[in-house]
Amino acid sequence: MVDITHKINTLRSATATAIVKVSQQATIDAVVNNLVPKGNVMEMAKTAGLFAVKNTHLSIPDCHPIPIEFTSVEYKIEGLTIEIIFRVKTVYKTGVEVEAMHGASIVALTMYDMLKPIDKEIEISTIKLINKEGGKSSFKNRFPTTIKAAVFVCSDSIFAGDKEDRSGKIIVEKLESYGVETAHYEIIPDEVDIIQERTKAYAKENQLVIFTGGTGLSPRDVTPEALAPLLESRIPGIEEAVRNYGQQRMPYAMLSRTVAGTLGKTLVLALPGSTNGARESMDAIFPHVLHVFHILKGNNHDAK
């Protein structure tokens, strides 16, 4: 199966349809009036669909087992066709499109099985997805101009040339994948004066300033202490999102001191300096954190 361990839970929904076409009005009348020998076609088919959608991963090899938190089945009858409308919702890391189509398919097949004794020319057609929501695609922000970022790697050892930077490069790559331009990238020593000077200088030119490193518990890790006096507003929700995401994957993440806040109309972030810490922190909050720039501009809309 596709690796989804890096994703976050969001509300996801999907709606799929299937068409059952019968050959005579008498079949439709039997369905509507509950006169089919095998029983109530709509209720039996609905029940089959509800069972099926919860077990999609047992039928489709690449589907993940996911919590199904809502399903609904509706029918629309027009002439000799019965349209099945199947909706599914979950709060999880991956979507429910296949689950919705699987449910609609099984409803249609159940109807076929129940109606074949009275109608030998039933057709099933047009099984398709008509809508899906949730995941990163639903939280994609659009801006009239490209967001620019400055990325700073805070590390005495990397600054001295004793180690190679990896976390900063990961952040730059992640930003590029979300359409954010890294206008400045620099390795600096983990010193309060330098961190503060860079923050004040580059916050004027960039909408996003990211520091990686210096957020641990060592006395030499001073990035949070350097940034705290400069920030006009802390955003604890971002900090908690990073910590919570990290702790679900590595219990030591609780020891990191992530910082998030604003300076003017610039978002300032201090992320862990480890390779995995930087990667996971970006996965935890991007791209949806970019919505902050709509809020800072006074345009707090859905921004999809």
Quick: pLDDT tens for 4-55. 998 999 999 999 999 999 999 999 999 999 999 999 999 999 999 999 999 9
Confidence of residue 299 (pLDDT cuts 50, 70, 90): low
Whether residue 105 is found in the same domain as residue 164? no
The whole-number pLDDT of residue 301 equals 47
The model's pTM is: 0.80
Whether residue 164 is found in the same domain as residue 33? no
Q: How many domains does the chain have?
A: 2
Check if 193 is active-site: no
* Residue 3 covered by a domain: no
Tokens of 57: 């991963």
The residue type of 117 is P
Whether residue 132 is found in the same domain as residue 152? no
Could you report the per-residue pLDDT of 201-227, keeping only the tens digit for each?
Answer: 999 999 999 999 999 888 889 999 999
Could you report the per-residue pLDDT of 136-156, keeping only the tens digit for each?
Answer: 777 777 888 899 999 999 999
86 with 73: CB under 8 angstroms? yes
Whether residue 200 is found in the same domain as residue 263? yes
Average pLDDT over residues 61-75: 96
Among the listed residues 113, 162, 165, 302, the single catalytic one is 113
Q: Output the domain CATH number for residue 236.
A: 3.40.980.10
- Print the SS3 string covering 95-129: CCHHHHHHHHHHHHHHHHHHHCCCCCCCEEEEEEE
